[in-house]
Amino acid sequence: MDRIIHPHYFYPPLKKGGQGGFAVKRVCQGILPPFILKRMAESPDKITRRWALENLAASAAARATRTTLSTLPQMAAIPSPAGKKHRLIYDAQHKPTHALPGKLVRSEGEKGPNGPSKDPAVNEAYDYSGDTYDFYKEVLNRNSLDDRGMSLISSVHVGQHYANAFWDGEQMAYGDGDGRTFVRFTKSLDVVAHELTHGVVSHTANLEYQGESGALNEHYADVMGILVKQWRRNQTVKQADWLVGADILIKTFTRKALRSFSAPGTAYVNDPDIGTDPQPAHMKQKYEGEDDYGGVHINSGIPNHAFYLAAMQIGGKSWEKTGKIWYQTLLSLSPRSDFAAIAQGTVEKATILYGSRSPESKAVKQSWISVGIPPK
């Protein structure tokens, strides 16, 4: 990212790999798993195939060129002027990911040229990043992603027909979708909150993006995305749809969302463009291969389902008890924490918060037993 000059604040240049500092190479975590893009590249529709191949190339370029201070993530956090909610929205003008952030088009509380836009993508990125900030602040008492009020920077209209959204360690980037399978990626509040939560994970447990720890990284992003959506809609656990990414898909009979908490593996089935949802709901079906960084988007279905089972058993509104148990557990995890660690950690946090014989503690323990990860 280049040096950003804002009328009210000066941002220093961010240190990148090869430019000094302690920057290391990092995976750009996109909401679309690589196996979906690969499946789209085999679509019977030639336009979908062509755009999917372009998306794969763009994603590979992003992973190769975008870097962050994952060993010292606080050095990548751009502070806000007053240490509180501060959003900056840029228009990438369909340029590739290496040209981010783009042209500043909306900023916090501004009127005039940098105020509300006629562009829905700009306003969605602004509003939904604000909802995410408000959730963390009001529900979890966390001041932005780093808990120090870092600015929330977003770029919309990234690339040509770019079907993905990602957090790169410093900012959000949103594509407009291919118009055939996916619409603009700012349209879904849970997608925005999911990707921003990768920033929260980086500033807390900093879960390594590989294997079970990587699946937990995706799990927490999914959980917080679901929680922000339910909180914003004021839904109970029984009213919620428990789907991730439903608003970015062009619906057909074979696809309804990217992931399902209530029934992993059913979000899309035998779809000609994106295939079949591979997420398991139980450790018996855990993916053991090397694709998708060891199945980070696949095996996250297991803890996702455990969260759903716990939330449904506890009842009420998911963010009030279940979400707080999960968030407090995140603060106690480490980069290589695995499924056993989160199972044990959530039971311990539930016990601390509500008591060892409480319905909440029993519900959390049973949820992990039900997915094949019995806590000790």
Pairing relationship of beta strands 87-91 and 152-156 according to DSSP bridges: parallel
User: Choosing from 297, 305, 348, 360, which is the catalytic residue?
Assistant: 297
Contact indicator for 25, 168 with CB cutoff of 8 Å = no
In DSSP terms, which residues pair with 244 in a beta bridge? 259
- How many other C-beta atoms can be found within 10 angstroms of the C-beta atom of residue 206? 18
**CA distances from residue 234 to 127, 168, 242, 318 in whole angstroms, order as listed:** 17, 30, 14, 10
Contact indicator for 167, 191 with CB cutoff of 8 Å = no
- Amino acid sitting at position 315: G
73 backbone dihedrals φ, ψ, rounded to 5°: -60, -25
User: Choosing from 54, 195, 218, 360, which is the catalytic residue?
Assistant: 195
CA distance 371 to 359: 19
Token pair for 68: 């962050």
- Would residue 195 show up in a list of annotated catalytic residues for this protein? yes
Pairing relationship of beta strands 67-68 and 172-174 according to DSSP bridges: unpaired
- Would residue 6 show up in a list of annotated catalytic residues for this protein? no
Token pair for 59: 């994603």
Give the residue numbers marked as catalytic. 195, 297
